[in-house]
Amino acid sequence: MNGWAASSHFLNSVQKGGYHMMLADRLASGEKGLSIYAAELWPTTRQIPRLSQTNLSEEYERQDDICLFGLLYVLPKRRVSVLKAYSKLLPPVIARPPIERVVQDDVFFLEDAGVKLRLDLSNEVKFRTVLIPGAVVAVRGHLQSNNGLAVSEIMFSSRLMKMEPQPPSSLLTTNNDVVVIVSGLGLGGADPAQLRYSMELLDFLVSLRGLRQGPLRLIICGNLFAAPEDAPAAKSFMDHYELSPTTTFAEMHASYDIGDAFLKQCIGLADVILIPGSDDPTTHMWPQDPVPELLLQRAAMYTRNERSFQRLPCPCILQESTGTIYFIDAASLQYLKQYIVWEGKDNATEEELASLLLLCGNVCPLAPLYMPSKPLANDAFRFPIPPTAIIIGSTTRVAASTVTYIWEGQPKQCTIICVPRLVTQGRGVLFCPATGAFQHLCLARNK
């Protein structure tokens, strides 16, 4: 699609597998880089490659500093089990993240192949670092008599050097490389703003087309449709289970027909990429499948005839000559916020939370232990190559930051862009992948 190449990474990884295979792959891949980094940072500390193959009693007798590798695991005391969360995935509404955050009473472990070692984390250690359950870490400390590890330092696969707010640019509308990105249109819902903003978006595409020499590119980054509980026709179905299967499908489809018609109009003006979000009618275990072609019969005609319309999974990767861009839904960051321990960051912004994905080298470290995920043949969520940009859909506001981080010993930069729900904010983003510049797209005349 005009310089874009949609990676099949998340689609090809959805093969017959298991959660143990995902975690084993995550640990094996993360441990390689960590062992080198730990040797440089802690040169006098003895490394123990595999916790699962270590005699802890013998190691305790030696009473020296050691470095262990494993997955950071939390045993929460005040939340339902993940099995109960998985059992509730049959309804058409995604399981929401827990209300209570990880608290001081929760216990953290280092896990390797089913072997868990309790971590004794002092307040000083918690103050210096962030704890991300599911991430691969190197832990430095000494063993205690109760088969625990008194932790002095924790290391992730990457290092965050600095994070700076990125001010919006101007005059991007005439740049042929600029992409229009919107999210959270909420079509089919009860909010009357959905129709006004969708029509204003079409008007903007028409005007932008007159300023450009090349083709337009539009990315809908999640939640094109309203959630089932917010869509009148779909809610009618959910409240009246006695409807026949034929009527049920018709009621559900009525909420999605408007989105299909809207997409057809967009495709007439621009090359369109559709990425699902937590409200869209597709699988809610990550990685989410593309929105079904059955619900987009008008728009899907372009999929078969030309490359002007693509349905991609979430998360997804788009690659071009200037770098690699990841697209995710803000719902995953809601999970992350509830499970991490980050002293002084109770009100962390969405771009700050997204920077933690760079820190642990994984677009969804909580899956599959703490966030619903498909059983994959490998850990598709780890970054195969360093991102140059992360685009987050359905956020609470427009924002952007530039993060400098160390990836395998080399400094890298990543632009994090937050794209809010159009139906509530009336805003989108113009983004230039070549430079990382962005510009506000304001479709709400009164905002």
Considering only CA atoms, give the Rg of the chain: 23
Which amino acid is it at 118?
A: R
Least confident range from 256-260, 429-433, 439-443: namely 256-260
Residue 142 CB contacts under 8 Å (≥ 6 apart), including other chains: 63, 64, 65, 66, 149, 150, 152
Q: Mind listing the pLDDT tens digit for each residue in 208-229? A: 887 776 778 999 999 999 887 6
Q: Which CATH architecture describes the domain 20-157?
A: Beta Barrel (2.40)
Average pLDDT score over the chain: 82
Name the nearest CA neighbour of 267 among 225, 186, 209. 209
- Residue 237 and residue 220: Cα distance in Å, rounded? 27
Residue 221: Cβ within 10 Å count: 29
Query: Would you say domain 5-15+164-442 falls under CATH 1.10.760.10?
Result: no
Burial of 113 (0-12, 13-18, 19+ CB in 10 A): middle
Q: Is the pLDDT of residue 237 over 50?
A: no
Residue 333 CB contacts under 8 Å (≥ 6 apart), including other chains: 350, 353, 354, 392
Q: Mind listing the pLDDT tens digit for each residue in 300-326? A: 777 655 558 899 999 999 988 888 999
- Three-state DSSP state, 15: coil
Domain boundary assignment for the chain = 5-15+164-442, 20-157
Least confident range from 296-305, 362-371, 396-405: namely 296-305
Q: What is the pLDDT of residue 104?
A: 54
Whether residue 387 contacts residue 358, with contact meaning beta carbons closer than 8 Å, is answered with yes
Q: Which conformational region is residue 383 in: left (phi greater than 0), alpha (psi within -120 to 50 degrees), or beta?
A: beta
239 or 361, greater pLDDT: 361
Give me the percent of the chain exceeding a pLDDT of 90: 38
Q: Mind listing the pLDDT tens digit for each residue in 72-124? A: 988 765 554 555 555 555 444 445 555 555 555 678 999 988 888 999 988 77
